[in-house]
Structure 1
Amino acid sequence: MPNASKHSNQTILFDLDDTLVYCNKYFDAVSEQFLDLMTTWFAAYRVNAQDVQRVQSEFDITEVQKTGFVSEHFPQSLQHTLIHFSTLTGREVSPQEMELLWKLGMSVYETEVEPYPGMIDTLDKLRDEGHELFLYTGGEAVIQQRKIDQMQLSTYFGDRIFIRQHKTTEALESIVEHLRLDRFKTWMIGNSLRTDVMPALINGLNAIYLKQATEWAYNLVDLTVKPQGAFVTIEKLVQVPQVILDWQSGQGTPKLSL
């Protein structure tokens, strides 16, 4: 006999950045400005943009792995990259350049956020179908709450919002345990294989991976966990309701294909 919970209303946890609202494109825009500055400053030393980008990414990811999603990591990675190449080439670093890079890096958090196409329609449909919606996002509370307020997401999530500096398997497990969720009918939806999909699969949840054309290197990991329930890749947010409906109606068990 099929599990009754499969056919009841589902519990759906959404990631925020690059799932419901844009995020990476703002970092990419600032990174382009940074690369322009660096290749100009180091033009005489033949420092190329690819090497600058690689070093900056390594600095950024290393700090995220140590202390989680902290806003200072990004501007610090720009400064550390400048220092790195200055040390290699002997070019002197000025306080003005360091200050410029700090302001440039922090400017990404001041950008007015934009919703992903179909965000409102997707949330409206899931809510109207009776599913319980939660928001589970990584980052600093002040920054993430500003995005939530700008998008008026409390309309859909109420107080069912969780902001964590570290989005890990343990962090997701603590939420599942605290809420006493039925894992068979609980879904994690996000763009990060590392912080959304992998923790969900390890914790026995259903997972929907919103695959992006370009993705932050930190979010990409090899998946070695066998799904215990539904596991599907989509490329558009508006596909979420149909995936869940198909799962409920027994039209196959979707699996991930990368």
Structure 2
Amino acid sequence: MNQQTLILDLDDTLIHCNKYFVESRNRFANVMKKWFKLVSKQEILDKQSEIDIKGVEKNGLHSSLYTQSLVATYRYFCLRFGRKLKGSEINQIEKIGQSVFQRKVKPFPYMYEILDTLQADGHQLLLFTGGDEANQRRKITQLRLTDYFEDRIFIFEHKNTDALQQILNNINTDKKCTWMIGNSLKTDIKPALELGINAIHIPAEIEWSYNIVDIEIEPSGTYAQLKSLVHLPEFIREQAYNTAINRGRSSVKEILTVYLNKEVKA
């Protein structure tokens, strides 16, 4: 089988992530509703999302920014309604935010079996994840993902095209055989297409609005969407087979061209 280089995203591609934030945000909004009865829960969630995304776009994906966005939302509504800030309430909010990064994470169904299959098929596996080193390493260590990715783990607080380019600069790979696989159109798919490598979008069941962007780039390689991670090994096998066939045809064509040129000269 023709070896492929597979660059996999972590959060909401291999493991559950956004659902923990959804649970936390709902807890936060429910607490806020008790303090600000005139504000709807949706308005609270919208304001928190607005503050959160602005912070991420400016400062990256450090885990501390999420908790800061909850506190900033609380401060916003306190100022708006003339409510006095209370240290006890801020502490309560901070605990809600920090709880996301203290819980045990869970892999997607069959994650280990899928990685085992990809590894057994001889593909080179890389992990490209966004966040701060401490939090992402916590999850990687807990799930023993170094068994599959070894030293090919790349963590960036700013997960974008520049970050992906740094990875490509560090590995010896053919773009035609290189794939970015993830749930985020913004941080996985768009950078891959901009850099001319193949991309596989696996949409998350619950998606963070930050990850949703329009893709208006003409792919120079293969751009596919799979319904589930479980379909990945078979899809890659098909693509590897097609690549091998095409290369074989090219080699035959080159040999014939050289032969015919010699015949003409003779």
Whether the 8 Å CA contact 2:51–2:72 is kept in 1: the answer is: yes
Gaps of 5+ in 1: 1-6, 252-258
In structure 2, give the amino acid aligned to 1:64: V
For the residue of structure 2 that corresponds to 1:61, the secondary structure is helix
The correspondence for 2:21, drawn from 16, 27, 37, is 27
Per-residue CA distance 1:186-214 (angstroms, 9 max, x = gap)? 01111110000000010111111110222
Per-residue CA deviations over 1:89-118 (Å, capped at 9, x if unaligned) read: 112221111111112101100010100011
Q: How many residues align?
A: 243
Structure 2 unaligned regions, length at least 5: 244-266
1:129 counterpart (117, 121, 138): 121
Looking at secondary structure, tell me which structure has more helix per residue.
2
Q: Is the CA contact (8 Å cut-off) linking 2:19 and 2:206 kept in structure 1?
A: no
2:106 paired residue number: 114
Corresponding residue SS for 1:250: helix
Name the CA distance, whole Å, in 1 between partners of 2:163 and 2:36: 42
Q: Quick one: which amino acid aligns to residue 158 of structure 2?
A: H
Instruction: Name 1:256's counterpart in structure 2.
Output: none
Q: Give the drift of 1:233.
A: 1.0
* Conservation of the 8 A alpha-carbon contact between 1:12 and 1:189: yes
| Runs of 4+ residues over 4 Å off in structure 1 | none
Counterpart selection for 1:70 from 46, 62, 67: 62
Aligned to 1:144: 136
Q: Which residue identity lines up with residue 182 of structure 2 in the other structure?
A: G
For residues 87 and 181 of structure 1, the distance between their equivalents in structure 2, rounded to whole angstroms, comes to 54
> Quick one: which of 63, 84, 96 aligns to 1:92?
84
In the alignment, does 2:207 pair up with 1:215?
yes
Tell me, in whole angstroms, the C-alpha distance in 1 between the residues paired with 2:106 and 2:218: 34
Cα distance in 2, alignment partners of residues 224 and 169 from structure 1? 15
The residue type paired with residue 33 of structure 1 is R
Percent of aligned pairs with the same residue? 42
Provide the residue aligned with 1:8 in structure 2: 2
Cα deviation for residue 234 of structure 1 reads 1.4
Tell me the TM-score normalised to structure 1 length.
0.91
1: distance between equivalents of 2:230 and 2:220?
24
Report whether the alignment pairs 1:178 with 2:173.
no
- 1:138-184 CA-to-partner distances (Å, cap 9, x unmatched) read 11111111111111011111111111111110110111012132111
Q: Rg: which structure is higher?
A: 2
Letter in 2 for 1:239: H
The answer on whether the counterparts of 1:212 and 1:235 sit within 8 Å (CA) in structure 2 is no
Question: How far 1:247 sits from its partner (Å)?
Answer: 1.8
Please tell me whether residue 241 in structure 1 is matched to residue 209 in structure 2: no
Counterpart Cα distance in 2 of 1:177 and 1:72: 30
